[in-house]
Structure 1
Amino acid sequence: MADYHLEASWSPIEGSFGRLTFTLFNLSAEPLSTFLLAYTSETRVADKHVCDGGSLKRRVAHFHEFLPPEDLSVPPGGRWRFTVEGLTKEPKHATSGVKSAYLTLGDGRHVPVGFGDLMLEGRNGGVAPPLLPPGRAEEPYSLLPWPLALGLKAGELPVILYPAERMRPDAVKALSLVLALYQRLYPADNVPFSLSAVEGGRAIRFVTESSIAAFAYELRFTAHEIVLSSADVAGRQYGLISLAQLLHGARADRERFKFPNFGTIADQPRYDWRGCHLDVSRQFYPVADVVRLIDILAWNKLNIFHWHLTDDEAWRLEIKAYPALTEIGARRGPDEVLVPQLGDGAQTRSGHYTQEDARRIVAHAASLYIEVVPEIDIPGHSMATLFSLPELVDGQEAPDSYRSVQGYPNNALNPAVEFTYEFLGKVFDEMVALFPGEYLHIGGDEVAHGSWLSSPLCKALMEREKLAGTAELQSYFLKRIKAMLSERGRKLAGWNEVSHGGGVDRDGTLLMAWEKPAVGIELAQEGYDVVMTPGQAYYLDMAQAEAWAEPGAAWAGYAPPEHTYAYEAEGELPEALQDKMRGIQACIWTENFISRAYFNRLVFPRLPAVAEAAWTPSVRKDWDRFAAIVRMWPVL
């Protein structure tokens, strides 16, 4: 238990974003004096603010450091209270308050401070509502995502499923891989498959059928066997996962779910790109967590793992040419170059993936027919990079001449510093050796308005190349980046802002529309291939209800699981542009994900909801059926 505890409350004030009240309790046996209070919070104090009872010493993005009044001494059992009016936004949820806190004492030691939710003053915040109804399955089969077509008759539950006699070794190995997947996801449950015949079980016969579409499969249930037909190995895996799901549900909830004795399933994915993104910069997830998430993606028949490896808060991938990227850029703490951010307290936190880690994750994903799309976020969101390699900075650029939406000063790689391209060339060389997929994601989002305009080098570049403003500078930069990727046999993927300022060559470029659905339509009209990932439905860090007590972010509103499930990302996309829409993707941004419980509450069941939207035609979706099935599905 910490010797100190910080409480925070928010009260609305007309004409402003309200007032925060902080109370620090001294629970120790000694008086507290000569100290600094540091905390992290997504509700940031603005440059122009009024503080009563203390003073803001510094703020870096979500990190705040406050000074108490001079000569303040807080006795044992006493408290220090101060208020701040002048915030960058209005908090919407109880989790919008303190995410971590510590004291720096007079002798330089950093000691942890406990904290609670952000309390709401002046009105009742209500309670978090239930997010899932009990659910109802008209057809008693636990399949998620739901298949394209099925006509089944339920029957006796088999003890287990096993390969028929004289099956090819590759088919038996495929069954063993899905068996291992099931064992990792449900380690306490009875397995669905055996590699040899078992009394009371059902045999699976594998058939290769060239007339079946790519990634599709068919299942035919007869009195004696199950026939799994597919044209390719991915379709075969999806069929095996469906069989494992059917048996799992029939065992887990025998009243609602059954196993079929007769009939057929014909199934294929709706979209080619069925993705999930994970931000490992804000919060680090060890290899075991990443591997388990990939297993969950496979269980839900998703096929893209978008790995967000760098951001302002950290650089997480080992680059042998530049070890400082992880020696400096993967560490945050009170005495580190990078100050604490959301969730970081008195102790340094660090973490990165070695190149061997990356190879292991890529190989694991490939075994489950999932492609890893790595992202290094450039030119913006590069604070960790710039602190790690100061030679990337134009030394004549005025400090704090622009700030990102998250509050980071001068956080973008400079397009006029030629070393930028030498640096990125070496990074790309190492990345293409690690990631064999078609795309390398380069971010391209949220470059602050006014970026680089105080850089003498950029002013000269703008004059020489006849560029106007930040957007055209970014376009110049990204065109060079796209050429560098093309030289290395990779295509460019990025966020929708890549199109700004003239964008890049549309051929071989994939953009992700995150700001709002209309942006995706505009990108398709401009000729870009598009993945829809709108924050209003598919950003899994958004709160799931409007209630103050419901955790989550709020910039895109709130997204209940039913909304995420029902959402149709194609929206008003004209039929003539349908071929430009590659698919959809869920995004897990982790600024606020400071615990495993928080992760699971926000991500599930919305991740399986996106998975069903990516696989199942809209006319085949059913919210009540989904709600009945998804409660049996695995979480991290």
Structure 2
Amino acid sequence: MADYRLETSWRPIEGGFGRLNFTLFNLSSEPLSGFLLAYTSETRVADKHVCDGGSLKRQVAHFHEVRPPEGLSVPPGGHWQFTVEGLTREPKHVTSGVKSAYLTLGDGRHLPVGFGDLLLEGRNGGAAPPLLPPGRAEEPYSLLPWPLALGLKAGELPVVLYPAERTRPEAVKTLSLVLSLHQRLYPAENVPFSLCAAEGGRAIRFVTESSIAAFAYELRFTAHEIVLSSADAAGLHYGLISLAQLMHGARTDREHFRFPSFGTIADQPRYNWRGCHLDVARQFYSVADVLRLLDILAWNKLNIFHWHLTDDEAWRLEIKTYPQLTETGARRGPDEALVPQLGDGAETRSGHYAQEDVRRIVAHAASLHIEVVPEIDIPGHSTATLLSLTGLVDGQEAPDSYRAVQGYPNNALNPAVEFTYEFLGKVFDEMVTLFPGEYFHIGGDEVASGAWLSSPLCTALMEREKIAGTAELQSYFLKRIKTMLSERGKKLAGWNEVSHGGGVDRDGTLLMAWEKPAVGIELAQQGYDVVMTPGQAYYLDMAQAEAWSEPGASWAGHAPPEHTYAYEAEGELPDALREKMLGVQACIWTENFLSRAYFNRLVFPRLPAVAEAAWTPLERKDWDRFAAIVRMWPVL
């Protein structure tokens, strides 16, 4: 138990974003004096603020360090209280408060401080509604995403499914891979498949049928066998996952779900891009966690893993040419170059993926028909990079001459520093050996208004190239990056701001519309390929209800699972532009995910909801059926 505890509350006030009240309790047996209190919170203190009972000594983005009044001594059992007015935004949810806290004593020691929820004063926080109804499955088959066409009659549950005699080795191997997937996801459940014939089981006969579309499959159930037809390995894989799902539901909930005895399933995905993004910069996830998430994506028939490997808070990918990127940029702590953020306390936290880790993850994804799209977020969101390699900084640029929306000063790679391109070229050279997929994601989002304008090197570049302003500077930078990627056989993917300032060549460029749905239509009209990932529906860190007690972020409002499920990404997209929309993607931003419990509460069941939107046509979706099935689905 910590010897110190910090309690916080927030009260709305007229004409501002309210008042935060902090109370530090000394639960130790010694008086506390000569200390600093540090805490991290997404509810940031603004430059213009009033701190009563203390003073803000230092702030870096979400990190705040507060000095008590001169000579203050907190006796054992006593407390120190201070308030802050002048915030950058109004807190909306219980998780808008403190995410970590510690004390720094006069001798340099750092001591942990316990903390609780952000309490609400002077207002009713509302009641959180149920997020998932009991559900109702009129057709008793547990398939998620729901297939394109289905006509089945229920029968007896077989003991196990097995390959028919003389099944070709590739089909047996795929069956074994899906069997292993099921065992990893449901280790306490009986297996759905056996490689050997078994009494009481049913045989699967595999047929290669060239007339079936790519990624599609057909299942035909007869009295004696199940016929699985497909044209390619992916279709075979998805068909076997459907059989495993049918077995799982019929065993898990025998009252509501059955296994088919007769009939057919004809199925294929609605979109080719069915993605899930994971931010590992804000919170680090172990190799085992990433492998588990890939298994969950495969079970939900998602086929893209967008791996957000760098941000202001950390650089997570080993680059052998520049070991400083992970030696410095993957460590946050009180005595590190990167100060604590978003849940970091008195102890240094670190984590990165060695290249061997990456190869293992990419190979595992490939075995599940998932492509890994790595993201190196540039030119903004680069604090960890710039602190690791100081040669990337224009030394003549005034510090704190601009700030990103998250509060980081001067956090963008400088387009006029030639070392920037040498550095990124060597990073890309190593990444090409690790990631065989089609796309590299380069971020391109949230470069601060006014970035680089006080850099003498950029001023000279703008005069030389006839460039005006930050957006055109970013376009200049990203055009060079696109050329570098093309030389290495890769296509550029990025967030929707890549289109700003003139954007980049549309050919071979994929942009993700995140700010609002209308942005995706605008990008398609400009000629870009588009993936829809709007924060209002597909950002899985958003709170799921308006109530104060619900955890999560709030900038895009709140997104109940039913809203995420029902959301139609195509929206008002004209028919003529449909071919520009490649698909949809869920995004897991991890600022709020301080525990596995929070991760699972926010990500599920919304991730399977996006998966069904990515696979199942609108007219085949059914919220009540989804709710009945998804409660049996795996979580991290």
Please say whether Structure 1 and Structure 2 have the same fold, judged by a TM-score greater than 0.5. yes
Q: Find out whether 1:450 has 2:450 as its counterpart.
A: yes
What is the aligned partner in structure 2 of residue 146 from structure 1?
A: 146
Amino acid across the alignment from 1:85: E
What is the aligned partner in structure 2 of residue 530 from structure 1?
A: 530
What is the aligned partner in structure 2 of residue 2 from structure 1?
A: 2
Amino acid across the alignment from 2:236: R
CA distance in 2, matches of 1:4, 1:185: 40
CA distance in 2, matches of 1:588, 1:340: 21
CA distance in 1, matches of 2:103, 2:159: 59
Q: For residue 106 of structure 1, report the CA deviation from its aligned partner.
A: 1.5
What is the aligned partner in structure 2 of residue 516 from structure 1?
A: 516
What is the aligned partner in structure 1 of residue 553 from structure 2?
A: 553
What is the aligned partner in structure 1 of residue 76 from structure 2?
A: 76
What is the aligned partner in structure 2 of residue 316 from structure 1?
A: 316
CA distance in 2, matches of 1:424, 1:470: 20
Any idea what the Cα deviations from partners look like across 1:396-423, whole Å, max 9, x if unmatched?
A: 0010000000000000000000000000
Backbone CA RMSD of aligned residues: 0.4
The sequence identity of aligned pairs, in percent, is 89
What is the aligned partner in structure 2 of residue 573 from structure 1?
A: 573
CA distance in 2, matches of 1:128, 1:341: 29
Instruction: Report SS of the residue matched to 2:56.
Output: strand
Instruction: Report SS of the residue matched to 2:586.
Output: strand
Q: Find out whether 1:460 has 2:460 as its counterpart.
A: yes
Instruction: Report SS of the residue matched to 1:451.
Output: coil
Amino acid across the alignment from 2:435: F
What is the aligned partner in structure 1 of residue 596 from structure 2?
A: 596
What is the aligned partner in structure 1 of residue 487 from structure 2?
A: 487
What is the aligned partner in structure 1 of residue 240 from structure 2?
A: 240
What is the aligned partner in structure 1 of residue 434 from structure 2?
A: 434
CA distance in 2, matches of 1:175, 1:377: 38
CA distance in 2, matches of 1:498, 1:432: 22
Amino acid across the alignment from 1:168: R
Q: For residue 568 of structure 1, report the CA deviation from its aligned partner.
A: 0.2
Amino acid across the alignment from 2:475: S
CA distance in 2, matches of 1:246, 1:449: 52
Q: How high is the TM-score relative to the length of structure 1?
A: 1.00
Tell whether the 8 Å contact from 1:516 to 1:536 is kept in structure 2 after alignment: yes
What is the aligned partner in structure 1 of residue 610 from structure 2?
A: 610
What is the aligned partner in structure 2 of residue 280 from structure 1?
A: 280
Instruction: Report SS of the residue matched to 1:111.
Output: strand
CA distance in 2, matches of 1:447, 1:432: 26
CA distance in 1, matches of 2:504, 2:227: 48
Instruction: Report SS of the residue matched to 2:178.
Output: helix
What is the aligned partner in structure 1 of residue 178 from structure 2?
A: 178
What is the aligned partner in structure 2 of residue 398 from structure 1?
A: 398
What is the aligned partner in structure 2 of residue 348 from structure 1?
A: 348
Tell whether the 8 Å contact from 1:396 to 1:456 is kept in structure 2 after alignment: yes
Tell whether the 8 Å contact from 1:443 to 1:494 is kept in structure 2 after alignment: yes
CA distance in 2, matches of 1:571, 1:557: 19
What is the aligned partner in structure 2 of residue 46 from structure 1?
A: 46
What is the aligned partner in structure 1 of residue 101 from structure 2?
A: 101
Give the 5 Å matches for 1:468-479. Answer: 468-479=468-479
Tell whether the 8 Å contact from 1:141 to 1:257 is kept in structure 2 after alignment: yes
What is the aligned partner in structure 2 of residue 425 from structure 1?
A: 425
Q: For residue 125 of structure 1, report the CA deviation from its aligned partner.
A: 1.5
Instruction: Report SS of the residue matched to 1:565.
Output: helix
Tell whether the 8 Å contact from 1:394 to 1:455 is kept in structure 2 after alignment: yes
Tell whether the 8 Å contact from 1:316 to 1:351 is kept in structure 2 after alignment: yes
Amino acid across the alignment from 1:111: L
Instruction: Report SS of the residue matched to 2:448.
Output: coil
Q: For residue 71 of structure 1, report the CA deviation from its aligned partner.
A: 0.7
Q: For residue 14 of structure 1, report the CA deviation from its aligned partner.
A: 1.0
CA distance in 1, matches of 2:61, 2:129: 32
Q: For residue 127 of structure 1, report the CA deviation from its aligned partner.
A: 3.5
CA distance in 2, matches of 1:453, 1:362: 40
Amino acid across the alignment from 1:590: T
CA distance in 2, matches of 1:219, 1:230: 9
Amino acid across the alignment from 1:433: T
CA distance in 2, matches of 1:488, 1:233: 28
Instruction: Report SS of the residue matched to 1:549.
Output: coil
Q: For residue 117 of structure 1, report the CA deviation from its aligned partner.
A: 0.5
Tell whether the 8 Å contact from 1:127 to 1:550 is kept in structure 2 after alignment: no
CA distance in 1, matches of 2:534, 2:570: 11
Amino acid across the alignment from 2:228: L
CA distance in 1, matches of 2:601, 2:357: 27
* Structure 1, 449-458 or 25-34: larger mean CA deviation: 25-34
Q: For residue 474 of structure 1, report the CA deviation from its aligned partner.
A: 0.1
CA distance in 2, matches of 1:622, 1:28: 56
Q: Find out whether 1:85 has 2:103 as its counterpart.
A: no
Any idea what the Cα deviations from partners look like across 1:103-131, whole Å, max 9, x if unmatched?
A: 01111110100001100000221343211
CA distance in 2, matches of 1:67, 1:432: 48
Amino acid across the alignment from 2:599: F
What is the aligned partner in structure 2 of residue 23 from structure 1?
A: 23
What is the aligned partner in structure 2 of residue 120 from structure 1?
A: 120
Q: Find out whether 1:133 has 2:140 as its counterpart.
A: no
What is the aligned partner in structure 2 of residue 217 from structure 1?
A: 217
CA distance in 2, matches of 1:14, 1:614: 44
CA distance in 2, matches of 1:108, 1:459: 42
Instruction: Report SS of the residue matched to 1:434.
Output: coil
Amino acid across the alignment from 2:30: E
Amino acid across the alignment from 1:110: H
Instruction: Report SS of the residue matched to 1:518.
Output: helix
What is the aligned partner in structure 1 of residue 207 from structure 2?
A: 207
Instruction: Report SS of the residue matched to 2:40.
Output: strand
Any idea what the Cα deviations from partners look like across 1:64-122, whole Å, max 9, x if unmatched?
A: 00000111111111110000000000000001000000001111110100001100000
Give unpaired runs (5+ residues) of structure 2: none
Q: How high is the TM-score relative to the length of structure 2?
A: 1.00
Tell whether the 8 Å contact from 1:26 to 1:79 is kept in structure 2 after alignment: yes
Q: For residue 316 of structure 1, report the CA deviation from its aligned partner.
A: 0.2
Give unpaired runs (5+ residues) of structure 1: none
CA distance in 2, matches of 1:477, 1:217: 44
Q: For residue 132 of structure 1, report the CA deviation from its aligned partner.
A: 0.3
Instruction: Report SS of the residue matched to 2:139.
Output: coil
Any idea what the Cα deviations from partners look like across 1:490-531, whole Å, max 9, x if unmatched?
A: 000000000000000000000000000100000000000000
What is the aligned partner in structure 2 of residue 335 from structure 1?
A: 335
Tell whether the 8 Å contact from 1:310 to 1:316 is kept in structure 2 after alignment: yes
Amino acid across the alignment from 2:556: A
What is the aligned partner in structure 2 of residue 543 from structure 1?
A: 543
Give the 4+ runs in structure 1 shifted more than 3 A: none
CA distance in 2, matches of 1:131, 1:59: 37
CA distance in 2, matches of 1:83, 1:127: 27
What is the aligned partner in structure 2 of residue 271 from structure 1?
A: 271
CA distance in 1, matches of 2:448, 2:591: 19
What is the aligned partner in structure 2 of residue 57 from structure 1?
A: 57
CA distance in 2, matches of 1:34, 1:130: 48
Tell whether the 8 Å contact from 1:149 to 1:266 is kept in structure 2 after alignment: yes
CA distance in 1, matches of 2:14, 2:259: 60
CA distance in 1, matches of 2:353, 2:234: 28
CA distance in 2, matches of 1:126, 1:334: 37
Amino acid across the alignment from 2:97: G
CA distance in 1, matches of 2:74, 2:129: 40
Q: For residue 158 of structure 1, report the CA deviation from its aligned partner.
A: 0.6
CA distance in 1, matches of 2:415, 2:433: 25
Instruction: Report SS of the residue matched to 2:433.
Output: helix
CA distance in 2, matches of 1:613, 1:274: 9
What is the aligned partner in structure 2 of residue 297 from structure 1?
A: 297
Q: How many equivalent pairs are there? A: 636
Instruction: Report SS of the residue matched to 2:220.
Output: strand
Any idea what the Cα deviations from partners look like across 1:194-226, whole Å, max 9, x if unmatched?
A: 110111011101000000000000000000000
Any idea what the Cα deviations from partners look like across 1:161-207, whole Å, max 9, x if unmatched?
A: 11111101111111000000000000111110011011101110100
* Structure 1, 328-337 or 120-129: larger mean CA deviation: 120-129
